[in-house]
Chain A
Amino acid sequence: MEKHSKAYKTLAAGVAIAAVASIAGLALLVNIFERKQEAKNPFFRVVELDDAVEDPAVWGKNFPLQYDGYKRTVDMKRTRFGGSEAVPRTPTDADPRSLVAQSRIEEDPRLKTMWAGYAFSKDFREERGHAFMLDDQTFTERQRVVQQPGTCMHCHASVYVPYKKLGDGDLTKGFEKMNKMPYQEARKLVEHPVSCIDCHDPKTMELRVTRPGFLEGIRNLKAAEGVKDYDPNKTATRQEMRSFVCGQCHVEYYFKGPEKRLVYPWHNGLKVENILAYYEKEGYKDWTHKISSAPVLKAQHPEFELWSQGIHARSGVSCADCHMPYTRVGALKISDHHVRSPMLNINRACQTCHHIPEAELKARVENIQEATFKLRNRAMDAVVDLIADIEKAQKAGKPEALLARARGHQRTAQFKLDFIEAENSTGFHAPQEAARILAESVDEARLGQVVLRDPGYKPTLTRLDK
Chain B
Amino acid sequence: MWRCRLVDLMDRLVPLKAWRGYLIVRHRERCPRCLARLASREEALRFLVRSEDVAPSLNLWPRLRRALAGGTRATESAAAVSSFVWRRAFAAAGAILLAIFGLWLLRSGISVRTDRTAAEASQDSRFKLNYIRIGGEPATAYIYQSKGTDMIVVWAERNP
Whether A associates with B in a native complex is no
Task: Identify the B interface with A (CB < 8 A).
Answer: none
